[in-house]
């Protein structure tokens, strides 16, 4: 996977303090589409993503539809495996086992949450690490931790691209990540550290959070509390990445940051919506292309 850049020039998607996640995503998808075409020409097939969904969760259905549309946009094959809510764990494991050995499938994604009674960790661990395009498998998490080549987790990788779009170098900067989830907080802390940032990971038990935040050149808010971060947390000129997806008191979509309060103080900020959100599926596409290339090269080296 492409190394996280320490240096970057400000991209056209950044102007007037707003980091336009939709535009950054569109630029990356253009590159992925070109590379997918080149892959098809040399391999004889398109990169392929298998998406498994169990149950009737409305939000999950929307996510799956968006992923299928994104695959079509960049020229991937997208296969959906829709299972009933009463599917057994054994049936789901059997399906994943078949996808693992299917030579025409490059990436496998199991849409979470799964129905009650199914062990999500067991299902994630059953996915072949070389097809784990979500980067949830312990093998791929270990590679990330060790700095070895491999998949990058989708939302954290998108965050790094958004920071790069501002022209900000992570090297030597004080970076604060508020949140310690396995999906965002922990992995984005590792990516910032890999880019030579000085990283603090904070959480609900952190003492003196506001004082720590005011020293941060780069602040990633991934705590899941609507408008928790206001101007009093922000160092003037800081880059603020808002990962939150919440509803305010009026039912309006908002982030973890109070945008109106933070905007005058910060140097750059992602809006909600239109910031981090568009990047996650785009990074999933990039991981799928990486998986396709890796599997193809391995077969080629093996003489298959």
- pLDDT digits over 59-103, tens only? 899 999 999 999 999 999 999 999 999 999 999 999 999 999 999
Which domains are seen in the chain, by residue range? 44-129 (3.40.50.10860), 154-278 (3.40.50.720)
State the chain's mean pLDDT as an integer.
94
| Rounded percentage of the chain residues whose pLDDT exceeds 90 | 90
Closest CA to 1 of 144, 183, 195: 144
What region does 75 belong to: left with phi over 0, alpha with psi -120 to 50, or beta?
Answer: left
Contact 176, 239 (CB under 8 A): no
Compute the C-alpha angle 253/257/260, nearest 5°: 85
Q: Return the pLDDT at 7.
A: 47
Q: Is the pLDDT of residue 3 over 90?
A: no
Is the pTM for the entire model greater than 0.85? yes
Beta sheet of 48-54, edge-to-edge order: 77-83, 48-54, 107-110
**Which range, 62-66, 147-151, 283-287, has the best average confidence (pLDDT)?**
283-287
Three-state DSSP at 96 gives helix
Q: Which H or E run includes 94?
A: helix 89-100
Residues designated as active site: 67, 111, 134
Render pLDDT for 238-283 as a digit per residue (tens, 0 to 9).
999 999 999 988 899 999 999 999 999 999 999 999 999 999 999 9
Three-state DSSP at 280 gives helix
Report CA 127 to chain centroid distance, whole Å: 18
Q: Is the pLDDT of residue 117 over 90?
A: yes
């Amino acid at each position: 996977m492409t190394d996280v850049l320490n240096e970057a020039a400000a991209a056209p998607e950044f102007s007037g303090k707003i980091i336009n996640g939709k535009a950054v995503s569109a630029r990356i998808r253009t590159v992925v589409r070109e590379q997918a075409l080149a892959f098809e020409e040399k391999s004889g097939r398109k990169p392929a993503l298998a998406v498994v969904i169990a149950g009737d969760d409305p939000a999950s259905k929307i996510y799956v539809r968006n992923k299928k549309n994104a695959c079509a946009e960049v020229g991937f094959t997208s296969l959906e495996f829709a299972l009933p809510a009463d599917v057994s764990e054994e049936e789901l494991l059997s399906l994943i086992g078949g996808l693992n050995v299917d030579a025409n499938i490059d990436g496998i994604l199991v849409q979470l949450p799964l129905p009650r009674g199914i062990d999500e960790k067991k299902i994630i661990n059953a996915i072949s690490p070389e097809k784990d395009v979500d980067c949830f498998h312990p093998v791929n998490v270990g590679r990330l931790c060790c700095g070895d080549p491999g998949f990058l987790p989708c939302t954290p990788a998108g965050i790094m691209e958004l920071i790069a779009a501002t022209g900000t170098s992570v090297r030597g900067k004080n970076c604060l990540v508020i949140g310690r989830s396995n999906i965002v907080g922990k992995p984005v802390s590792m990516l910032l550290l890999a880019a030579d940032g000085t990283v603090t990971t904070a959480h609900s038990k952190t003492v003196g959070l506001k004082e720590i935040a005011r020293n941060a050149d780069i602040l990633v808010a991934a705590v899941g509390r609507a408008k928790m971060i206001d101007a009093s947390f922000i160092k003037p000129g800081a880059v603020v990445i808002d990962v939150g997806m919440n509803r305010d008191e009026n039912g309006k979509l908002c982030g973890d940051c109070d945008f109106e309060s933070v905007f005058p103080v910060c140097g750059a900020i992602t809006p909600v919506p239109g910031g981090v959100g568009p990047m996650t599926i785009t990074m999933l596409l990039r991981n799928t292309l990486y998986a396709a290339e890796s599997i193809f090269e391995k077969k080629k080296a093996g003489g298959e």
